[in-house]
Amino acid sequence: MPNTLIVGNWKMHNTISQAETLIRDIIALYQPHPTVELMVAPPYITLQTAANLLKTTSITLAAQNVCAKDEGAFTGEVSPPMLKELGCQSVIIGHSERRHLFGETDESINEKIRAALHHGLQPIFCVGERLEEREADQTHSVIQHQLQTGLARLEGKDLDNITIAYEPVWAIGTGKAATVEQATEVHAAIRAMLATHWDIDPGQIRIIYGGSVTADNAQALFQSPHINGALIGKACLNSESFVKIAQIATLDS
């Protein structure tokens, strides 16, 4: 079983001073656990502050996006080596907000995943269907396409360094989380698709769930053996609810 991963995706929240307060509060509340990894993904400009504060803790750091290029004339972009040197261990790639608001495609996501891996950053690769796709019974085909294209030209061993985040678009920021049955069903399907494609042990693939996770629904979700953690938006902006979700994860790991 992979370690449980609890990631706080801050999205575009918190200035540098606010980030400092939130990180300090998280550090003060959090009791580390050997099989649970706690990670924060603050905005680019607060990463350095977070990195300095987290240096002496077990809490790890992720960026919310990355450019596929190493350097060059790419105004406004941030490269994998920049994130690596800063102390990021991981990077969220293919979040539905990046796909739907900023036009990222499965192909550009694949470039980013390969670039991140090349530079020793562990991608948290987000997939998920929209409501109309679920209602049209297309959930599996949509996710299969996202996985096939997003993970193209990778080898089975690369999966050791990738976390898949299943984030149904209809559950993000809506307060309507997937039920444990819905999430388990899709996680099991993702596991089977990847294990078949690369002939790898399905139990070793880390698949976390995201979409309206709270301290109230986390326990039910984490009881599913297919759910290896959570990618949290709103509830990670409050240190108490974020750390509480991590503590709930320790009960089932």
Contact residues: ligand 13P, CB under 6 A: 9, 95, 167, 172-173, 210-213, 231-235
Integer Cα distance of 227 and 221 in angstroms = 7
95 in active site: yes
Closer CB to ligand 13P, residue 75 or residue 173?
Answer: 173
CB 237 within 8 A of CB 10: yes
Catalytic residue among 119, 129, 167, 226: 167
Closer CB to ligand 13P, residue 95 or residue 134?
Answer: 95
107 in active site: no
Integer Cα distance of 7 and 59 in angstroms = 10
Phi, psi of 181, rounded to the nearest 5 degrees: -65, -45
Compute the least distance from the CB of residue 88 to ligand 13P, in Å. 16
Compute the least distance from the CB of residue 96 to ligand 13P, in Å. 7
Closer CB to ligand 13P, residue 34 or residue 103?
Answer: 103
Catalytic residue among 95, 119, 187, 226: 95
Integer Cα distance of 213 and 222 in angstroms = 11
- Beta-bridged to residue 6, according to DSSP, are 38, 230
Compute the least distance from the CB of residue 165 to ligand 13P, in Å. 7
- By beta carbon distance, the residue nearest ligand 13P is 233
Compute the least distance from the CB of residue 109 to ligand 13P, in Å. 15
Closer CB to ligand 13P, residue 83 or residue 177?
Answer: 177
Closest CA to 129 of 99, 162, 159: 99
Instruction: Give the contacts of 189 (CB within 8 A, at least 6 positions apart).
Output: 140, 143
Integer Cα distance of 16 and 225 in angstroms = 37
Active site residues: 95, 167
